[in-house]
Structure 1
Amino acid sequence: MNTSAVLGVAVALSVAIVAGVVVWTKRNRAYHSSDSVAAAYDAWTNDRLLESLWGEHVHLGHYGDPPRQRDFRDAKADFVHALVHWSGLDQLPAGSSVLDVGCGIGGSARILARDYGFNVLGISISPAQVARATALTPEASTCRFAVMDALDLKLDDQQFDAVWSVEAGPHMPDKQRYADELLRVLKSGGTLAVADWNRRDPSDGEMNAIERSVMHHLLTQWAHPEFSSIKGFHHNLVASIHQRGAIQVDDWTKATLPSWIDSIAEGVRRPGVVLRLGPSALFQGLRETPTLLLMHWAFATGLMQFGVFRSSRGQT
Structure 2
Amino acid sequence: MLSATAQGLAALLAIGVGAIAFSLWTRRNRAYQSSASVAAAYDAWTDDRLLETLWGDHVHLGYYGDPPRRRDFRAAKADFVHALVHWSGLDQLPPGSRILDVGCGIGGSARILARDYGFEVLGISISPAQVARATALTPEGIHCRFAVMDALDLQLADQQFDAVWSVEAGPHMPDKQRYADELLRVLRQGGVLAVADWNRRDPSDGEMNGVEKHVMHQLLTQWAHPEFASIKGFASNIAASPHQRGVLETDDWTRATLPSWIDSIGEGLRRPWAVLSLGPRAILQGLRETPTLLLMHWAFATGLMQFGVFRISPGGGQSAANSELG
TM class by shorter chain equals: over 0.9
Q: Which runs of 4+ in 1 moved over 2 A?
A: 6-20
- Structure 1 residues 75 and 126: CA distance shift in structure 2, 3 A: same
The 2-side partners of 1:97 and 1:36 are apart by 30
Kept in 2: contact 1:86–1:314 (CA 8 A): no
1:204 is matched with which residue? 205
Q: How does 1:126-275 map to 2 (within 5 A)?
A: 126-275=127-276
The 2-side partners of 1:280 and 1:9 are apart by 24
- String of CA shifts for 1:75-127, please: whole Å, max 9, x gaps: 00000000000000000000000000000000000000000000000000000
Letter aligned with residue 184 of structure 1: R
1:98 is paired with a residue whose SS is: strand
- Structure 1 residues 297 and 9: CA distance shift in structure 2, 3 A: closer
- String of CA shifts for 1:165-207, please: whole Å, max 9, x gaps: 0000000000000000000000000000000000000000000
- String of CA shifts for 1:45-103, please: whole Å, max 9, x gaps: 00001101110100000000000000000000000000000000000000000000000
2:303 is matched with which residue? 302
Letter aligned with residue 52 of structure 1: T
Shift of 1:282: 1.1
The 2-side partners of 1:27 and 1:247 are apart by 39
Letter aligned with residue 66 of structure 1: P
Shift of 1:312: 4.0
Root-mean-square deviation over aligned CA pairs: 1.8
Q: Work out whether 1:120 is the aligned partner of 2:129.
A: no
2:324 is matched with which residue? none
1:39 is paired with a residue whose SS is: helix
Kept in 2: contact 1:57–1:106 (CA 8 A): yes
1:74 is matched with which residue? 75
2:44 is matched with which residue? 43
2:156 is paired with a residue whose SS is: coil
Letter aligned with residue 106 of structure 1: G
Kept in 2: contact 1:87–1:314 (CA 8 A): no
The 2-side partners of 1:244 and 1:218 are apart by 33
The 1-side partners of 2:256 and 2:35 are apart by 30
Shift of 1:16: 5.1
**Structure 1 spans left out of the alignment, 5+ residues:** 1-5
Shift of 1:23: 2.1
- What is the number of equivalent residue pairs in this alignment? 312
Letter aligned with residue 303 of structure 1: L
- Structure 1 residues 314 and 228: CA distance shift in structure 2, 3 A: farther
Shift of 1:313: 1.7
Kept in 1: contact 2:191–2:313 (CA 8 A): no
**Structure 2 spans left out of the alignment, 5+ residues:** 1-6, 319-326
- Structure 1 residues 292 and 89: CA distance shift in structure 2, 3 A: same
Identity within the alignment, %? 79
- String of CA shifts for 1:17-39, please: whole Å, max 9, x gaps: 43331121122100000000000
Kept in 2: contact 1:16–1:283 (CA 8 A): no
2:322 is matched with which residue? none
Kept in 2: contact 1:191–1:314 (CA 8 A): no
Kept in 1: contact 2:193–2:312 (CA 8 A): yes
Shift of 1:281: 1.2
- Structure 1 residues 231 and 268: CA distance shift in structure 2, 3 A: same
The 1-side partners of 2:83 and 2:143 are apart by 21
Kept in 2: contact 1:94–1:116 (CA 8 A): yes
